[in-house]
Structure 1
Amino acid sequence: MSALRFRPIAVSAPALLALMLLPLGAASAQTPAPDAAADPAAAAADGSHRTMQGPASVADLAEGLLDAVVNISTSQTVRGGGVPRLNAPEGSPLQDFFDDLSKDGDNSRRVQSLGSGFVIDPSGVIVTNNHVIADADEITVNFADGSQLPAKLLGKDLKTDIAVLKVESAKPLKAVKFGDSDRMRIGDWVMAIGNPFGLGGSVTVGIVSARGRNINAGPYDNFIQTDAAINRGNSGGPLFDMYGDVVGINTAIISPSGGSIGIGFSIPSELASNVIAQLRQYGETRRGWLGIRLQEVTEDIADGLGLQAAKGALVMGVQSDGPSEGKLQVGDVITGFDGHPIDSSRDLPRIVAETEVGKSVTVDILRKAAKTAPADTLHVEVTLGRLEDGEQQMASAEPDAGAKGGAKPDGAAPALGNETLGMKLADIDQSLRDQYQLAKDASGAVVTSVDPASRAAEKGIEAGTVIKEVAQESVASAKDVTDKIAELKSSGRKNALLLLASGSGELRFVVVPID
């Protein structure tokens, strides 16, 4: 059996284009109110939840929405490298044929793909996935009545896979509105409408299977998972609640074959609506930016930091000249942002990105006050920068590839220093800076070798790593490290919290068991 994989769900299917243009019939102008089965809260109030099996029919609801869902076809010219010149033996009649082949054989071909979208403004504003229209030379929107209109791209966002299109229509178009995806509960009924395999408007029904799914599709993953049948070509189509409001944009499936197995993923409307508004207004995104690098707070790290629970986002770097410089510092644990609780390092970037650029926000942090004191709760005011500007700033500050750290293959091992936890350590000198390509301002103790069978090796520590802190106390030499580890061991501690730096200075916390 082939391995499961996540797949975007646009479909390249030129042969199915004719089927996609079939009329879907007239649709009602009114969206009916849901019955009791569509409102779990109302059903629960009168006890009818004991027998409720789902809506008896979604025909009326679907009829009022079909006209707002569109099929999107794109075409792209893909150019090959051409046919190299071929030479036949002198005097051969094949030479003319070879010359013609070389002249005309540029291997150009037209590639078409099919996807879905939906109208959000009667003036002709349409939402779809970015991967549906990516690299397209031409974008055509096909409506339920069989009509077609060319579309232009208003804006796209690769991080959330959202694109906004505009068509010019002689009459107002049927449009749908966004609902509140935050109110959706696991088990709520949802309906998907789209263009599976290029067949045209198709309706499927299922439930919300899970929320907050991270499938590593982008930095702001927060997908709604549904078992409503979603297949290739459904990309960019809407996921409706039982009131006819869009609560998601169907984007990906997990499948060993490319077909639906009941595991589909939709971008929640609460995330999408803000991105879409920015793309409509500016043609680009304008996300908030703190200018920090984060690490997950694991159970081990929480124990090493003296935290009561493994929650929050651990600050591992502060961008020079960024919004947080002088306000946040390495080792701070962010537990709240602008009134939102922060449970994990995955939550914070999304919430910050959705916050207005230039806004002054309160960041709640836990900061170690002293060697023996527990972490204090502090409230820091930070004025957000713009992520897109920050990314350019960080890119321009990237060190050369040759200065990323790591030992030279033929570098001679330095004289042995101290040894602890399966690591051999040495004080930093110029020869070690050169051998491991350490940053000029690197300080601490450098790891010169690691026992492959040690706990340190299991934690990814390797030669060239610099130890900067042990148990949140700075160290300046190899002896400082070994002395501090011995002190922890004698006090009965079972783990050592180490602050490590790569050759280029990138920081991370690890917890190494003390044997």
Structure 2
Amino acid sequence: MSRTTEVAQQSRNIQSGGALAILLMVLSVMVLTGWSQAGLAQGLPDFTELVEDNAGAVVNISTTSAPKAGNTRGMPFDERQLEQMPEFFQDFFRGPQSPFGGSPGNSQPRRSMGSGFIVSEDGYVLTNNHVVEGADEIIVRLNDRRELPATLVGTDPRSDMAVLKLENGEDLPVVKVGRSSELKVGEWVFAIGSPFGFDYTVTAGIVSALGRSLPSENYVPFIQTDVAINPGNSGGPLFNLDGEVVGINSQIYTRSGGFMGVSFAIPIDDAMNVFRQLRDKGVVSRGWLGVLIQEVNRDLAESFGLERPRGALIAEVMADSPAQQAGLQAGDIVLSYDGEPVELSSDLPPMVGRTPVGETAGLRVLRGGEVIEMGVEIGRLPEEGSQQAAVPSGESGGPTSAPLGMMVEPLPADMADSLGVDRGVVVADVARGPAYEAGIRPRDVITEINRKKVASVEDFREVVRALPDDKAVSVRVVRQGRALYLVMKP
């Protein structure tokens, strides 16, 4: 063989070997990709059997209400549900082109729809209060297309819950009730409901957070999820991967009118407590402490001697309340309730609300730099709209100015009566300075500075003279009848 032929042969061998190596690499990548995708798919939950097993106990709820005076539009959603929709849908359902009757002068019954689920074989159904509020007729449609009339057993607007009772229901499917207290953040959950009237729609996601407090419902520690919830889902169940109901889908947070990845569910532990009370007594009783509280931020924590922000700061104690009778004071910080730590002020109302009326709860309280323990006999939460007066406890001199940048004057008797306070000084004017930066404004009534009571202008002068330099101090003010703590750095 010639030298040229030998070189050519070697070159062909190298090329064929290189091609084989490349082919093996490509096959390896394909195999690894397939394995990784298969592993990823195996790690995701399969909801098919869960949905098949539980969809039967989920119901669609439609209501009809007599038209109110001046109401000229019939529609399938109530105002609360409509406000959560995109503007296009609001115009459609409210406008004259609405198939549900929206032309001016055409007074038709108002219709609404939502979801719910059956919790007992004798036909009790749980849903949201806003789904059935004001309804004259309630029809519940089951998965097998049966339509049954329902009676309203009771409602609890504070938790946005309602209990219905199906009439003439036989062989009713029932959900399994789980324990929301065992939920973990990051856990998979799914919802079944009727968004926009599309029956038995399934959406899934994870638990985003627990114990969320919303301005409209202080006594519900909501479950936050990223499960897609829309108008019509309200009142439907939130399931875990064991097929157990762990919550009732209730609200969404949105700036667009549609779902934005933030939805809220009522924990089933709280919901079942409300259900049992409505079923057995027709009303819901909640524990009541009788205090107004606020969050402890970093500056307030420093001024009260806490190493970090935690607890619920009592801004005001109500008259004749369990808190007053137990000796709680404005300026106390509740650190724990019945052995449970209070990290955020929003933790406290649900804890108190779940406590049976008449039971004694143990509190750990920070007062004057010292931690004390006390027992409080929990009362019953008054009905909404009932007024409770504030309790504070003190006299006067002439107007004065201070290096804090504000001028104060004696508290007039008529102003004290109207605000429900019996001590303090009125802020007459505020210039740029520590007081203004703290948020103090004219007409505020100062009742306490640095945990020292201020009953007169002379008290104010003495307390201000004794203030430490370059240290945050708390200031309790009463503004428009509400007490709150501010933080000032002299």
The interval holding the TM-score normalised by the smaller chain is 0.7 to 0.9
Q: Given the superposition, is the C-alpha separation of residues 245 and 503 from structure 1 closer, same or farther in structure 2, using an over 3 Å criterion?
A: closer
In the other structure, the counterpart of 1:507 is: 483
Q: Which residue identity is paired with 2:422? A: A
Contact 1:120 1:127 (C-alpha < 8 Å) held by counterparts: yes
Output the CA distance in 1 between the equivalents of 2:295 and 2:66: 44
Number of aligned pairs?
Answer: 416
Task: Give the match's secondary structure for 1:113.
Answer: strand
Q: Given the superposition, is the C-alpha separation of residues 512 and 53 from structure 1 closer, same or farther in structure 2, using an over 3 Å criterion?
A: farther
Choose from 407, 419, 437 the match for 2:402.
Answer: 419
How far the C-alpha of 1:193 sits from its partner, in A, is 0.5
RMSD: 2.8
Q: Which residue identity is paired with 1:500? A: V
Establish whether residue 377 from structure 1 lines up as the match of residue 371 from structure 2.
Answer: yes
Task: Give the match's secondary structure for 2:233.
Answer: coil
How far the C-alpha of 1:457 sits from its partner, in A, is 3.2
Contact 1:312 1:335 (C-alpha < 8 Å) held by counterparts: yes
Contact 2:180 2:247 (C-alpha < 8 Å) held by counterparts: yes
- Structural mapping, 1:295-310, within 5 Å: 295-310=294-309
Residue deviations 1:90-142 (CA, integer Å, cap 9, x gap): xxxxxxxxxxxxxxx98532111111000000110000111111111111100
Establish whether residue 57 from structure 1 lines up as the match of residue 56 from structure 2.
Answer: no
Output the CA distance in 1 between the equivalents of 2:471 and 2:345: 25
Contact 2:56 2:173 (C-alpha < 8 Å) held by counterparts: yes
Task: Give the match's secondary structure for 2:400.
Answer: coil
How far the C-alpha of 1:178 sits from its partner, in A, is 1.8
Residue deviations 1:370-409 (CA, integer Å, cap 9, x gap): xxxxx222221111111036x67x527599xxxxxxxxxx
Structure with greater proportional helix content: 2
- Structural mapping, 1:7-406, within 5 Å: 51=40, 54-55=43-44, 57-81=46-70, 108-327=107-326, 328-368=328-368, 375-388=369-382, 394-395=386-387
Instruction: Name structure 1 gaps, 5 residues minimum.
Output: 1-48, 84-104, 369-374, 400-413
Output the CA distance in 2 between the equivalents of 1:511 and 1:290: 25
How far the C-alpha of 1:232 sits from its partner, in A, is 1.7
How far the C-alpha of 1:169 sits from its partner, in A, is 2.8
How far the C-alpha of 1:461 sits from its partner, in A, is 2.2
Output the CA distance in 2 between the equivalents of 1:427 and 1:165: 57
Choose from 487, 494, 497 the match for 2:474.
Answer: 497
Residue deviations 1:204-261 (CA, integer Å, cap 9, x gap): 2222223233343311342222222222211111010111100111112233444334
Output the CA distance in 1 between the equivalents of 2:60 and 2:221: 25
Q: Which residue identity is paired with 2:466? A: E
Output the CA distance in 2 between the equivalents of 1:252 and 1:424: 46
Output the CA distance in 2 between the equivalents of 1:356 and 1:211: 23
Output the CA distance in 1 between the equivalents of 2:420 and 2:44: 67
Q: Pick the structure with greater CA Rg.
A: 2
Q: Which residue identity is paired with 2:423? A: S
Contact 2:211 2:347 (C-alpha < 8 Å) held by counterparts: no
How far the C-alpha of 1:484 sits from its partner, in A, is 2.7
Residue deviations 1:78-100 (CA, integer Å, cap 9, x gap): 233499xxxxxxxxxxxxxxxxx
The TM-score normalised by the length of structure 1 is 0.74
Residue deviations 1:447-496 (CA, integer Å, cap 9, x gap): 11122x444334442222222222112234334323432332xx434333
Q: Which residue identity is paired with 1:381? A: G
Contact 1:335 1:342 (C-alpha < 8 Å) held by counterparts: yes
Residue deviations 1:411-434 (CA, integer Å, cap 9, x gap): xxx985223322111234xxx445
Contact 2:237 2:248 (C-alpha < 8 Å) held by counterparts: yes
How far the C-alpha of 1:271 sits from its partner, in A, is 2.2
Q: Given the superposition, is the C-alpha separation of residues 502 and 226 from structure 1 closer, same or farther in structure 2, using an over 3 Å criterion?
A: closer
Contact 1:449 1:463 (C-alpha < 8 Å) held by counterparts: yes
How far the C-alpha of 1:367 sits from its partner, in A, is 1.7
Output the CA distance in 1 between the equivalents of 2:109 and 2:71: 15
Contact 2:127 2:248 (C-alpha < 8 Å) held by counterparts: yes
Output the CA distance in 2 between the equivalents of 1:427 and 1:279: 51
Contact 1:79 1:107 (C-alpha < 8 Å) held by counterparts: no
Output the CA distance in 2 between the equivalents of 1:129 and 1:64: 23
Q: Given the superposition, is the C-alpha separation of residues 339 and 289 from structure 1 closer, same or farther in structure 2, using an over 3 Å criterion?
A: same
In the other structure, the counterpart of 2:97 is: none
Output the CA distance in 1 between the equivalents of 2:150 and 2:420: 53
How far the C-alpha of 1:510 sits from its partner, in A, is 1.4
Q: Given the superposition, is the C-alpha separation of residues 195 and 338 from structure 1 closer, same or farther in structure 2, using an over 3 Å criterion?
A: same
Output the CA distance in 2 between the equivalents of 1:331 and 1:218: 25
In the other structure, the counterpart of 1:405 is: none
How far the C-alpha of 1:161 sits from its partner, in A, is 0.9
Task: Give the match's secondary structure for 2:164.
Answer: strand
Contact 2:223 2:264 (C-alpha < 8 Å) held by counterparts: yes
Q: Which residue identity is paired with 1:80? A: A
Output the CA distance in 1 between the equivalents of 2:226 and 2:290: 38
How far the C-alpha of 1:195 sits from its partner, in A, is 0.7
Task: Give the match's secondary structure for 1:314.
Answer: strand
Task: Give the match's secondary structure for 1:219.
Answer: strand
Output the CA distance in 1 between the equivalents of 2:143 and 2:121: 15
In the other structure, the counterpart of 1:463 is: 442
The TM-score normalised by the length of structure 2 is 0.78
Q: Which residue identity is paired with 1:289? A: W
Q: Which residue identity is paired with 1:363? A: L
In the other structure, the counterpart of 2:429 is: 449
Q: Which residue identity is paired with 1:480? A: D
Q: Which residue identity is paired with 1:509? A: Y
How far the C-alpha of 1:53 sits from its partner, in A, is 5.5
Q: Given the superposition, is the C-alpha separation of residues 508 and 154 from structure 1 closer, same or farther in structure 2, using an over 3 Å criterion?
A: same
Contact 1:123 1:172 (C-alpha < 8 Å) held by counterparts: no
Percent pairwise identity: 40
Q: Given the superposition, is the C-alpha separation of residues 222 and 52 from structure 1 closer, same or farther in structure 2, using an over 3 Å criterion?
A: farther
